[in-house]
Structure 1
């Protein structure tokens, strides 16, 4: 029996009221004040007792910190963004494993159905709302995950704006050979609701930096193992599905995040959003928290298709650093980002705003047309605890035939989870793996 209509209305009113109350708080201003406080220099004689007290309260393991002398950290911000000793986070040996991008706790994971991602049990939000879309969805069947993907019009590698020296000619030749052999397009199609519409006076900036040669080589080799072009539509014929996982970082966790696999990042979208707390309690009580909050959406591909990586900001955090992005430093202490400025200008004109500013990493590689990242490579970090959401395409396996015996609901091959809800994980540990790859 369903809930009475009065109960449903009461729940909706309460949820709307929670959002309204939270929206009245000056959370971004509070975050900037907190950021300035974090950067205040701590007196030399107070650093050791202060950081030890913080470590005791939040469970920081000081034995794994790269710089054991706590006097070296001049302020809270530098201690939050601490590095670890080499080998403190070994990578899982399975080459087909997807690694945890950070330290933290598993809040939610599963398969995406009907274009909805589960925030907590019984509370979902739209995949389009999380990742963004270039134009309103017009599909008659939004539940079909193949609507997310649109094959590119041109599968030939395009000329990059990046400039390369004579010594890089061999790398370019290798990339061209790889693209030809594998039939892979190196331009990111519009992943959500078709190709972008041209808007007068609006362009996508390039935020590329030069990737490490080792990263580019590893990604080329890994993508070469794929059996299909990365942009193939998600249908029952190609036996793939969209999966997601949410990792929550607590204040005492290691705050840098890393690449969970070898992949290519082609675009990023910065959503100005708000800075609500991403604590487990608020996730249970505030609907659509991750699509309200400030976040950076990194879009690209891995061996099995589409891959996205979403660092989500939180109250008293507000600064999501992306190491390979020349422009991005969200919720800056002194200046607004492009997304912040665009949102403010649209509000002054009384116009709606799509919610994000987009940049490309196309110039990072002449053939890959994106920034290559190898598994375990540092990507950036938070200034305090927050959340990382992964949304990715992977094989879903096959149900065994009757001749092979009954296995219940278990599929053979395909994607397998290696985690449980609420489990503590360290960066580099296995979240799941593709069987039979």
Structure 2
């Protein structure tokens, strides 16, 4: 048995949510020596580049979570033209959605309906579109930004497990992104509907959005939330963040030409993923 498969298998019996909440409490500690020990060890272990941070001094952060979700200095991530990456990370997969199916990893696929919370009506327009999945490693910048300007139509909290979302787990745990706890955000854009799915993972204590604050953890049922006033966010604006790392899945209702992008390349927030000049309307 390969080490990656073993790593995936040993996660099944673990108390995912309990472990994640305990780590979340530790990440919020204000005990000076302890939070500083955690931050310094993390920077050393993952070779974090603090020169990009708005506040480069690790001692200035009140807790580990403040450090982990640190903002970048002005100009650190230029916003390019077209469809841009919502986050720093690894583009693990991208391409077309065929008959409501997305690629998770080689030999692994999952359903767009399941990903978006199990509502066939919500998923219908995305069944023949495009998608891109970005994995945020521990060393990455962990705020998520808008890849296009959009107006929020619906936010859906979907309960689930909290498997790790690294490549080893994606290779061996079926329906990983449709199985983990996640937050689905449906936006209307000039290019049609767009879904941004923030997928929780092992030791992710919470997911936040700029319009509603901390969302997870909630109760153990799917919850659809709509807002009285329109919420419009410009391309490049922050839309949410992970307290510890995870994955973002973007879904579109049209075919998008991702040009020469291939799985496993590194991307930065604001970097162009598509010029959007080759969109084909399937409607």
Fold in common (TM above 0.5): yes
The CA distance in 2 between the partners of 1:38 and 1:248, in whole Å, is 21
Q: Following TM superposition, by how much is the alpha carbon of 1:234 offset from its aligned partner in structure 2, in angstroms?
A: 8.2
Provide the residue aligned with 1:283 in structure 2.
170
Q: Following TM superposition, by how much is the alpha carbon of 1:23 offset from its aligned partner in structure 2, in angstroms?
A: 4.2
Within-5 A mapping of 1:248-397: 248-325=135-212, 328-331=214-217, 337=218, 340=219, 343=220, 355-361=221-227, 363-365=228-230, 371-394=231-254, 396=255
Contact 2:153–2:187 (CA<8 Å) still a contact in 1?
yes
Larger-gyration structure (1/2): 1
Alignment size in residue pairs: 273
Provide the residue aligned with 1:54 in structure 2.
42
Q: What secondary structure does 1:54 align onto?
A: helix
Contact 1:418–1:430 (CA<8 Å) still a contact in 2?
no
Q: Following TM superposition, by how much is the alpha carbon of 1:416 offset from its aligned partner in structure 2, in angstroms?
A: 3.8
Q: What secondary structure does 1:364 align onto?
A: coil
Deviations 1:228-278 (A, max 9, x none): xxxxx789xxxxx50000000011111111001111111011011111111
Provide the TM-score with structure 1 as the length reference.
Answer: 0.59
Q: Indicate yes or no: 2:100 matched with 1:115.
A: yes
Which structure is higher in helix share?
A: 1
Q: What secondary structure does 1:289 align onto?
A: coil
Q: What secondary structure does 2:208 align onto?
A: strand
- Structure 1 stretches lacking a partner, 5+ long: 1-14, 138-189, 194-232, 236-240, 332-336, 344-354, 366-370, 397-413
Say if 1:25 and 1:111 are closer, same or farther in 2 by CA, change over 3 A. Answer: same
- Structure 2 stretches lacking a partner, 5+ long: none
Provide the TM-score with structure 2 as the length reference.
Answer: 0.89
The CA distance in 1 between the partners of 2:154 and 2:201, in whole Å, is 22
Provide the residue aligned with 2:269 in structure 1.
427
Contact 2:84–2:270 (CA<8 Å) still a contact in 1?
yes
Contact 1:265–1:298 (CA<8 Å) still a contact in 2?
yes
Q: Of residues 54, 78, 100 in structure 2, which corresponds to 1:90?
A: 78
